[in-house]
């Protein structure tokens, strides 16, 4: 098998798509050879689209079912593929690098020497990949900001997909895992300045996978709300996918470590790419011009106006409400931002939106 199986893996991962899908550079092979054994790479390369059983994959590969099942189970434990229970049987699904395998490596929050090595190798690959890719090209955003819905001013329209609370109320189970971006930084020896690390949330089937395989902690709805409150106090941005109206996960991101936020900030107008569909409104009767909101704003979208009232640059503003959650005078509420598109209805609509934005 040797090197050839990893060259095949490169082509397979390119076809799977997503961010950091695969690039023929030395850093790619350094990290995949650490992540996958040759046998795991071979099984990964043979995985079909969609859900499949160990029996079906073993037949495709002309191998023994028990042997393939053991490899798949080990891969799911390592975050190299998904494993879910469906209709009382075990099904598997291949994963992209991102969103997927790269995040799964750090969600368990482990700190072994191997975890530290993987963190360094993934960082080196992403850095080399970014240097060879124009990340500022405007495309349809795969992620969206979720504003703090409790701060949306009465009379504004708030859709279900805008409301984290709704997903907490509707989802079972709910899991909390380690933030992979900040944990990867910790593994690389960086300081995360006391920001909370155990605030990533998964809902429904993804939560069950996280609980079963990624060291996720099953939490009650009350605990989930407390996690949200902690993230808001720390000035973190609620963020999720922008591929459908549903929420499979909710990240609580900062501006220094989160890849999605850093990607947005590299664009000339970050607020037009990465947004919640809301913007802040400042109450001149309540504002004391303390400047807290300006310090907290992740994309530095705020400045103090001549009238001692904060001014917002909407080209930069994410609509995250981090300014509002930190305002000691409750002078900030969130209102609808006209013109920001809703999330696509399904995966087909998402692909169409991405293609249209490239044109
Ligand atoms: S944090 Fe509140 S009170 Fe302070 S400047 Fe901002 S809006 Fe005004
Ligand atoms: S002004 Fe800054 S903190 Fe407030 S919603 Fe916009 S991006 Fe978020």
Closest CA to 57 of 105, 99, 101, 91: 91
To test the pocket of ligand 2, the residue of 148, 156, 323 to mutate (highest count of ligand atoms within 8 Å of its CB) is 323
Going from the Cα of 238 to the center of ligand 1, the distance in angstroms, rounded, reads 21
Residues 82 and 160 reside in one and the same domain? no
Residues 155 and 253 reside in one and the same domain? yes
| Ligand 1 atom nearest to 289, measured from its CA | 5
To test the pocket of ligand 2, the residue of 149, 273, 319, 325 to mutate (highest count of ligand atoms within 8 Å of its CB) is 319
The predicted-structure confidence for 5-39, as pLDDT tens digits, reads as follows 999 999 999 999 888 999 999 999 999 999 999 99
Task: Say yes or no to pLDDT of 131 above 70.
Answer: yes
Task: Say yes or no to pLDDT of 83 above 80.
Answer: yes
Task: Say yes or no to pLDDT of 1 above 60.
Answer: no
Going from the Cα of 235 to the center of ligand 2, the distance in angstroms, rounded, reads 10
Q: Confidence class of residue 244 from pLDDT cuts 50, 70 and 90?
A: low
249 SS3 class: strand
Does the residue 210 lie in any domain? yes
**Mean pLDDT for the stretch of residues 269-273:** 87
Domains held by the chain: number: 2
Paired with 90 in beta bridges are: 85
Rounded-to-10 torsion of CA 313, 319, 324, 330: 90
Note the ligand closest to the C-alpha atom of 328: 1
Does the residue 136 lie in any domain? no
Residues 294 and 339 reside in one and the same domain? yes
The token pair that represents 101 in the structure block: 């395998």
Residues 159 and 126 reside in one and the same domain? no
Q: What is the CATH number of the domain that holds 103?
A: 1.10.10.10
Pairing label, strands 200-203, 89-94 = unpaired
Low-confidence winner among 41-45, 215-219, 226-230, 341-345 (lowest mean pLDDT): 341-345
Q: Report the pLDDT value the prediction gives residue 351, as an integer from 0 to 100.
A: 74
Q: Report the pLDDT value the prediction gives residue 227, as an integer from 0 to 100.
A: 93
Pairing label, strands 81-86, 89-94 = antiparallel
Q: Report the pLDDT value the prediction gives residue 114, as an integer from 0 to 100.
A: 94
Q: How far is CA 228 from CA 218, 223, 231, 257, in A?
A: 15, 9, 5, 19
The predicted-structure confidence for 139-197, as pLDDT tens digits, reads as follows 677 778 888 777 777 777 666 556 778 878 888 999 999 999 999 999 999 999 899 99
**Domain termination site, one of 85, 105, 131:** 131
Between CA 329 and CA 197 the distance in angstroms is 28
Note the ligand closest to the C-alpha atom of 300: 2
The predicted-structure confidence for 84-96, as pLDDT tens digits, reads as follows 988 888 999 999 9
Q: Confidence class of residue 248 from pLDDT cuts 50, 70 and 90?
A: confident
Q: What is the CATH number of the domain that holds 337?
A: 3.30.70.20
Going from the Cα of 50 to the center of ligand 1, the distance in angstroms, rounded, reads 49
Q: Confidence class of residue 231 from pLDDT cuts 50, 70 and 90?
A: very high
Better pLDDT: 146 or 243: 146
**Domain termination site, one of 94, 109, 131:** 131
Going from the Cα of 199 to the center of ligand 1, the distance in angstroms, rounded, reads 26
Q: What is the mean pLDDT of the chain?
A: 90
Going from the Cα of 179 to the center of ligand 1, the distance in angstroms, rounded, reads 29
Note the ligand closest to the C-alpha atom of 292: 1
Q: Hey, whose CA ends up nearest to atom 8 of ligand 2? A: 320
To test the pocket of ligand 1, the residue of 235, 282, 284, 311 to mutate (highest count of ligand atoms within 8 Å of its CB) is 282
**Residue-wise DSSP of 43-78:** HHHH--SS-B-HHHHHHHHT--HHHHHHHHHHHHHT
CB neighbours (10 Å) of residue 229?
11
Going from the Cα of 319 to the center of ligand 2, the distance in angstroms, rounded, reads 5
Does the residue 137 lie in any domain? no
281-314 in b/e form (b: 16+ CB < 10 A) is: ebeeeebeeeeebbebbbbebbeeeeeeebebee
Residues 112 and 255 reside in one and the same domain? no
206-222 in b/e form (b: 16+ CB < 10 A) is: bbbbbbebbebeebeee
Pairing label, strands 332-336, 278-282 = antiparallel
**Mean pLDDT for the stretch of residues 294-316:** 96
Identify the domain containing residue 113 by its residue range: 2-131
Does the residue 211 lie in any domain? yes
Q: Hey, whose CA ends up nearest to atom 6 of ligand 1? A: 293
Highest mean pLDDT among 239-243, 277-281, 354-358: 277-281
| Ligand 2 atom nearest to 319, measured from its CA | 5
Residues 124 and 59 reside in one and the same domain? yes
């Amino acid at each position: 098998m040797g090197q050839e199986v990893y060259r095949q893996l490169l082509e397979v991962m390119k076809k799977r798509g997503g961010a950091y899908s695969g690039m023929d550079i030395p850093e790619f092979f350094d990290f995949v050879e650490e992540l996958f054994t040759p046998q795991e790479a071979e099984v990964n390369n043979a995985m079909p689209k969609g859900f499949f059983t160990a029996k079906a994959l073993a037949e495709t590969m002309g191998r023994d079912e028990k042997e393939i099942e053991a490899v798949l189970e080990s891969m799911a434990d390592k975050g190299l593929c998904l494993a879910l229970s469906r209709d009382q049987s075990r099904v598997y699904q291949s994963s992209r690098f991102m969103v997927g395998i790269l995040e799964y490596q750090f969600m368990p929050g482990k700190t072994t020497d191997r975890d530290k090595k993987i963190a360094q190798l993934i960082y080196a690959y992403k850095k080399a990949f970014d240097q060879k890719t124009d990340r500022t090209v405007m495309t349809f955003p795969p992620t969206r900001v979720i504003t703090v819905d409790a701060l949306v001013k009465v009379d504004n329209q708030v859709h279900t997909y805008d409301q984290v609370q709704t997903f907490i109320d509707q989802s079972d189970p709910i899991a909390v895992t380690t933030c992979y971006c900040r944990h990867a930084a910790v593994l690389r020896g960086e300081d995360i300045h006391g920001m909370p690390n155990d605030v990533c949330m998964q809902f429904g089937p993804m939560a069950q996978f996280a609980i079963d395989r990624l060291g996720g902690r099953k939490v009650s709805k009350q605990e989930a709300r407390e996690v949200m409150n902690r993230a808001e106090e720390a000035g973190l941005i609620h963020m999720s996918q922008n591929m459908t109206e549903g929420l499979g996960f909710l990240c609580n991101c900062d501006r220094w470590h989160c890849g999605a936020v850093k990607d947005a900030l590299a664009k000339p107008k970050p607020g037009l790419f990465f947004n919640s569909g809301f913007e802040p409104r400042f109450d001149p009767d309540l504002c004391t011009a303390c400047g807290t909101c300006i310090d907290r704003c992740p994309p530095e979208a705020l400045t103090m106006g001549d009238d001692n009232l904060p001014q917002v640059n909407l080209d930069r503003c994410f609509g995250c409400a981090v300014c509002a959650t930190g305002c000691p005078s409750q002078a900030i509420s969130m209102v609808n931002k006209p013109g920001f598109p809703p999330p696509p209805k399904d995966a087909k609509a998402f692909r169409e939106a991405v293609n249209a934005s490239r044109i």
